Amino acid sequence: MTDFLQRFGRSWLSMVERLGRATLFLLHILGALFSLVKRPSLLVRQLHSTGVMTLSIVLVSGLFVGMVLALQAYNTLIDFGQENRVGTLVALTLVRELGPVVTGLLFAGRAGSALTAEIGLMKATEQLSGLEMMAVDPYKRVFAPRFLAAFLALPMLAAMFSAVGVMGGHLVGVEVLGVDAAAYWSQMQNATSFTSDVCNGLIKGLVFGFVVAWIAIFEGADCIPTSEGVSSATTRTVVYSSLAILGLDFLLTAVMF
Partner 1 sequence: MNSRAIEVLVGLFMLLFLGAMFVLAMKVSNLTSFTSTSGYTLVAKFENVGGLKPRAPVAASGVKVGEVSDITYDPETFEASVTLTIDNRFSDAFPLDTTASIYTAGLLGEQYIGLDPGAEEDMLQDSDEISLTQSAIVLERLIGQVLFSRSGGS
Among 47, 111, 128, 179, binds partner 1 (CB under 8 A): 47
194 belongs to the binding site for partner 1 (CB under 8 A): yes
- Nearest approach in angstroms of CB 159 to partner 1 is 4
Q: Are 146 and 46 in contact (CB under 8 A)?
A: yes
Minimum Å gap between C-beta 176 and partner 1 is: 19
8-state DSSP, 96: I
Please write down the HEC assignment for all residues of 90-149.
HHHHHHHHHHHHHHHHHHHHHHHHHHHHHHHHHHHCCHHHHHHHCCCCHHHHHHHHHHHH
Out of 26, 68, 198, 256, point to the residue binding partner 1 (CB under 8 A).
198
Question: Is the CB of residue 91 less than 8 Å from the CB of residue 34?
Answer: no
Instruction: Give the nearer residue to partner 1 in terms of CB position, either 85 or 236.
Output: 85
Binders of partner 1 among 152-191, rule CB under 8 A?
Answer: 156, 159-160, 162-164, 166-167, 185, 188-190
Query: Which residue in the set 13, 24, 27, 44 belongs to the binding site for partner 1 (CB under 8 A)?
Result: 44
User: Per rule CB under 8 A, is residue 65 in the interface with partner 1?
Assistant: no
Distance between CA atoms of 115 and 46, rounded to whole angstroms?
10
E runs forming strands in 81-168: none
- Chain Cα centroid distance, residue 84: 32
Is 129 or 190 the residue whose CB approaches partner 1 more closely? 190
Interacting residue ranges for partner 1, rule: CB under 8 A: 41, 44-45, 47-48, 51-52, 55, 80, 91, 95, 156, 159-160, 162-164, 166-167, 185, 188-190, 192-194, 197-198
